[in-house]
């Protein structure tokens, strides 16, 4: 078990109302490693990704709780820019969110613009070319297809060559023909960037990411509260 990798998490969670708690019990990842959050729709995969990324306020669920990203211990008081930013975290969300009033190019560059970092020009060109966005980057999001929008969000997430890439159902809006192609692209480009990848998906049995390690999921009810728990140690249980 690695403790000095990209992700090292023990016993963190978040309460969503009075009746649901989403927890990440254990998760360890090294650079370039890929894991799949394998759970049914509605299990709280998006919330778990937010927890892991430190985008949601995590609660320590035990005395042994640890939340460490890229070697940085995340505490409630730690400013986001200390552990976040495009060189540390990249997001691809299922609704392929783009800022509607910015061009694809401006959207791709936005995280770097916010952080004040400078993108590697060759890597940017490689991303744009590999994702089939050359020639359309000056278009507005409403002027391109759903698939092109999704590829632009992938380019945006990978531009800073982040330590950790979080994918939340990244191909759910695509037609089946494009799904495999886009997933393979993500896999290859993430490898090029040496990013650790967490894929949240309820269709985990596809060819791309087929060999990836699974993070299992289970639910249990205690005192009228439903605990939705993710852990890489549950992989066998989930598969069972």
Partner 1 sequence: MTGLPLTLAVKELRHDWRGSLCFIAALVGVLAPMLVVLALKNGFIGTLIDRLVEDPSNRELLAVGSGAYDLEFFETIGERGDVAFIVPATRSINTVANSVRNRPKRNLERAVPLIPTAQGDPLLGDLIINKGEAALSETLAEELELAIGDTAEMIIGREIDGVSQNAIAELTVTGIVPERLYSRYAMFISLPDLLAIERFRDDRTLTPETWRDGAEEQDSYASFRLYAERLEDLRALEGALTDAGAQVRPRAENATVLLLFRKNLDILYAAVALIAAAGFWAAMAANLRGVVERQRVSFSFLDLLGLSDRARKSIPVFQSLILVGLGICVTFIIVLIILVTINAGFAGAPQQMVALLGVWDVIGTLILGFVTALTASAWAVLAIDKIGTEEVLRHA
Stretch that binds partner 1, among 3-11, 104-112, 181-189, 208-216 (CB under 8 A): 104-112
Q: φ and ψ at 214, to 5 degrees?
A: -100, 140
160 binds partner 1 (CB under 8 A): no
Neighbours of 154 (CB within 10 A): 26
49 binds partner 1 (CB under 8 A): yes
What's the min distance (Å) between Cβ of 156 and partner 1?
9
97 binds partner 1 (CB under 8 A): yes
By C-beta, is 72 or 110 nearer to partner 1? 110
Q: Which of 70, 115, 178, 181 binds partner 1 (CB under 8 A)?
A: 115
By C-beta, is 80 or 213 nearer to partner 1? 80
Stretch that binds partner 1, among 30-38, 64-72, 100-108, 125-133 (CB under 8 A): 100-108
110 binds partner 1 (CB under 8 A): yes
188 binds partner 1 (CB under 8 A): no
By C-beta, is 113 or 184 nearer to partner 1? 113
101 binds partner 1 (CB under 8 A): yes
Return the structure tokens found at 103: 């061009």
Using CB under 8 A, list all residues that contact partner 1.
46-47, 49-50, 55-56, 80-81, 84-86, 91, 93-95, 97, 99-102, 106, 110-111, 113-115, 140, 168
């Amino acid at each position: 078990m690695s403790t000095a990798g990209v992700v090292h998490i023990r016993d963190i969670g978040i309460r969503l109302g009075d009746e649901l708690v989403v927890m990440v019990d254990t998760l360890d990842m090294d650079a370039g490693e890929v894991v799949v959050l394998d759970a049914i729709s509605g299990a709280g995969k998006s919330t778990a990704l937010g927890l892991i990324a430190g985008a949601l306020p995590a609660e320590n669920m035990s005395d042994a709780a640890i939340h460490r990203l890229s070697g940085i211990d995340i505490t409630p008081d730690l400013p986001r820019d200390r552990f976040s930013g495009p060189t540390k975290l990249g997001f691809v969300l299922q609704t392929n969110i783009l800022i509607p009033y910015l061009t694809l190019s401006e959207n791709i560059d936005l995280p770097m613009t916010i952080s004040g970092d400078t993108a590697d020009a060759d890597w940017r060109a490689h991303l744009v070319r590999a994702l089939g966005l050359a020639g359309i980057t000056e278009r507005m999001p409403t002027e391109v297809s759903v698939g092109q929008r999704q590829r632009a969000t992938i380019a945006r997430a990978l531009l800073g060559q982040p330590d950790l890439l979080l994918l939340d159902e990244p191909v759910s809006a695509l037609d089946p023909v494009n799904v495999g192609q886009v997933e393979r692209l993500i896999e290859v480009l993430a490898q090029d960037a040496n990013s650790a990848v967490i894929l949240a998906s309820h269709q985990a049995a596809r060819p791309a990411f087929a060999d990836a390690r699974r993070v299992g999921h289970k639910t249990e009810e205690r005192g009228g509260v439903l605990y939705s728990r993710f852990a890489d140690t549950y992989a066998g249980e989930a598969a069972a």
